[in-house]
């Protein structure tokens, strides 16, 4: 640990978007919890919170740690001519409407409206869709003896389920995958003022492409929602456009609907896809765990929760301080960006003994914060749990000896909110 010129504690070796860090954030976070549990990250101008009890405090005290902490990645001057103002506004408008970026009391009302459409019944009915799509995908590669689990199964499955639930035409799925990546790559921690450091997350050329594709996505969704108003169907999109306030006015604008659908997709889609991949890697490393689950299928639920705890898929939740506050002995100024490090909290040895051991019988596994906590607990969590369990059951039923290539280095999408694997080589048979 060393101090920068402002006497703010920093952590040597911490590079948020490096592949080395994304492959193994736990060693560095354990050192942070010992040496400087709250530290400053100059490249993105935010404070990192790593201990479980402090993360919980950040996530539950919305009056001190406001959720209005996300913005769109800034468009540099050299791209302003290539990205028209109306395209620059689209990600900002969607992010401003996202649940993760709204405080009470507005958050309470908006979430209640959306929750009425994303019902338990709708989620429960999706199990048959999960198992059908899983088997269709497995049929396509089972004879090959190998596949890229992320690209050939996990992402296609999770997107297929979401697409079916929303009601989007299946042929849109490849573009939908790109739109999700584009949108979340354009999310950045908000600046407390206009003098914050420049964004460092994307090269100029890639930034331009992603802004253009998000504009295309917005155009598609606007047209699709208009169609659902004209031609209602039994799907989530129709439920959202038909939702009404007490006075009969639409409960949600198109921008709000798009934001909520993207948020649900991230939780029920990317979390599911990556959990499947990580679980296959875990069972490859420790086949005894898989055998225990096979002997007692009731343990699937515990396996999913422990997987959520230990895999660190949702990496951070950002907040912005409304006042000066002291956390773990460190004073954070008002107007500062704060990142609650969810994987660090979920592997804090003070809360979870032997935290990197995958334990099917961990007594307090439900304490994990993989889906956030409190008012901002992820609305898509029930879908992610159901989908990942059903998909893994079908995968191991059809391919009992599937195993991951543990020698292949993992390649992660560089993003500040999701720790997503791009590929996972797996094989089976002789």
Q: What is the pLDDT of residue 230?
A: 95
Among 12-26, 78-92, 260-274, where is mean pLDDT lowest? 260-274
- Following CA atoms 267, 356, 53, 362 in sequence, which dihedral angle do they give, to the nearest 10 degrees? 80
Q: Between residues 295 and 116, which one has the greater pLDDT?
A: 295
Instruction: Please report, for residues 60, 143, 188, 316, 413, the alpha-carbon distance to residue 71 in angstroms, rounded to integers and kept in the order given.
Output: 21, 46, 5, 15, 19
pTM for this one?
0.86
Among 325-329, 363-367, 376-380, where is mean pLDDT lowest? 376-380
Model confidence over 109-137: pLDDT tens digits?
Answer: 677 777 777 777 888 888 999 999 999 99
Other C-beta atoms closer than 10 Å to the C-beta of 137 total 21
Of 363, 361, 372, 359, nearest in space to 310 by CA: 359
Which token pair is 52?
A: 């479980």
Can you tell me the distance from the alpha carbon of 176 to that of 159, in angstroms, rounded to the nearest whole number?
8
- Following CA atoms 228, 234, 236, 242 in sequence, which dihedral angle do they give, to the nearest 10 degrees? 50
Q: What is the pLDDT of residue 6?
A: 53
Model confidence over 179-211: pLDDT tens digits?
Answer: 877 877 787 766 545 444 445 456 788 888 888
Measured N-to-C along each axis, helices 155-166 and 254-265 cross at an angle, to the nearest 10 degrees, of: 150
Can you tell me the distance from the alpha carbon of 159 to that of 204, in angstroms, rounded to the nearest whole number?
28
Q: Which residues contact 263 (CB under 8 A, 6 or more apart)?
A: 98, 99, 100, 378, 379, 380
Label residue 38 by pLDDT band (50, 70, 90): very high
In this model, does residue 95 exceed pLDDT 50?
A: yes
Q: What is the pLDDT of residue 105?
A: 66
Q: What is the mean pLDDT of residues 397-404?
A: 97
Label residue 81 by pLDDT band (50, 70, 90): confident
> In the structure, how many helices (H) and strands (E) does the chain have?
16, 14
Q: What is the pLDDT of residue 80?
A: 86
Q: Which residues contact 380 (CB under 8 A, 6 or more apart)?
A: 118, 263, 264, 265, 266, 267, 268, 271
Secondary structure E strands in 33-162:
38-41, 46-49, 65-66, 70-72, 146-148
Among 156-170, 192-206, 222-236, where is mean pLDDT lowest? 192-206
Instruction: Enter the DSSP assignment of 229.
Output: H
Question: Residue 113 in 3-state DSSP?
Answer: helix
- Characterize the bridge pairing of strands 403-404 and 337-341: unpaired
Can you tell me the distance from the alpha carbon of 4 to that of 341, in angstroms, rounded to the nearest whole number?
21
Q: Which domain holds residue 403?
A: 2-427
Label residue 313 by pLDDT band (50, 70, 90): confident
Question: Residue 341 in 3-state DSSP?
Answer: strand
Q: What angle do CA 402, 382, 270 make, to 5 degrees?
A: 55
Q: Between residues 102 and 3, which one has the greater pLDDT?
A: 102
- CB of 417 within 8 A of CB of 187? yes
Q: What is the mean pLDDT of residues 128-150?
A: 96
Can you tell me the distance from the alpha carbon of 303 to that of 334, in angstroms, rounded to the nearest whole number?
40
Report, in this order, helix, strand and coil percent for the chain, each rounded to 5.
Answer: 55, 10, 35
**CATH code, domain with 58:** 1.10.630.10
Q: What is the pLDDT of residue 308?
A: 95
Tracing tokens 């993003």 back to the chain, one arrives at 415
Question: What are the backbone angles phi and psi of residue 426, rounded to the nearest 5°?
Answer: -135, 155
Instruction: Please report, for residues 205, 259, 373, 388, the alpha-carbon distance to residue 127 in angstroms, rounded to integers and kept in the order given.
Output: 40, 24, 25, 10
Q: What is the pLDDT of residue 1?
A: 43
Q: Which residues contact 234 (CB under 8 A, 6 or more apart)?
A: none
Q: Between residues 378 and 395, which one has the greater pLDDT?
A: 395
Q: How many domains in the chain?
A: 1
- CB of 320 within 8 A of CB of 68? yes
Label residue 4 by pLDDT band (50, 70, 90): very low
Can you tell me the distance from the alpha carbon of 168 to that of 99, in angstroms, rounded to the nearest whole number?
22
């Amino acid at each position: 640990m060393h101090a920068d010129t402002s006497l703010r504690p920093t952590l040597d070796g911490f590079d948020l978007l490096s592949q080395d860090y994304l492959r193994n954030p736990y060693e560095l976070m354990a050192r942070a919890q010992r040496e400087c549990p709250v530290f400053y990250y100059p490249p993105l101008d935010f404070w990192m919170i790593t201990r479980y009890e402090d993360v919980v405090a950040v996530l539950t005290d919305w009056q001190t740690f406001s959720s209005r902490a996300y913005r769109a990645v800034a468009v540099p001057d050299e791209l302003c001519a290539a990205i028209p103002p109306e395209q620059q506004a689209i990600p900002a408008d969607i992010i401003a409407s996202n649940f993760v970026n709204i405080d009470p009391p507005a958050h309470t009302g908006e979430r209640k409206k959306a929750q009425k459409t994303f019902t338990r019944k709708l989620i429960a009915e999706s199990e048959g869709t999960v198992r059908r799509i899983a088997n269709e995908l497995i049929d396509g590669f089972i004879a090959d003896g190998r596949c890229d689990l992320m690209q050939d199964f996990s992402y296609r499955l999770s997107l297929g389920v979401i697409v079916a639930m929303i009601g989007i035409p299946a042929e849109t799925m490849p573009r939908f995958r790109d739109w999700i990546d584009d949108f979340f790559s354009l999310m950045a921690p908000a600046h407390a003022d206009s003098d914050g450091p420049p964004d460092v997350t994307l090269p100029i050329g890639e930034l331009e492409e992603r802004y253009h594709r998000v504009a295309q996505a917005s155009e598609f969704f606007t047209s699709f929602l208009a169609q659902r108003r004209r031609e209602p169907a039994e799907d989530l999109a129709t439920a959202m456009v038909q939702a009404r306030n007490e006075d009969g006015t639409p409960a949600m604008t198109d921008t709000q609907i798009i934001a909520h659908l993207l948020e649900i997709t991230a939780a029920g889609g990317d979390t599911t896809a990556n959990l499947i991949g990580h679980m296959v890697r875990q069972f490859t490393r420790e086949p005894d765990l898989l055998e225990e689950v096979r002997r007692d299928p009731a343990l699937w639920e515990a396996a999913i929760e422990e997987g959520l705890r230990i895999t660190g898929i949702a990496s951070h939740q950002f907040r912005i301080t409304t006042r000066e506050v002291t956390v773990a002995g460190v004073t954070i100024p008002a107007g500062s960006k704060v990142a609650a490090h969810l994987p660090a909290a979920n592997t804090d040895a003070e809360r979870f003994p032997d935290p990197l051991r995958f334990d099917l019988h961990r007594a307090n596994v439900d304490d994990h914060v993989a889906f956030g906590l409190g008012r901002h607990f992820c609305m898509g969590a029930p879908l992610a749990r159901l989908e990942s369990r059903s998909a893994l059951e079908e995968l191991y039923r059809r391919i009992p000896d599937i195993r991951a290539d543990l020698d292949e280095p993992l390649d992660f999408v560089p993003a500040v909110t999701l720790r997503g694997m791009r590929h996972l080589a797996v094989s089976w048979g002789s």
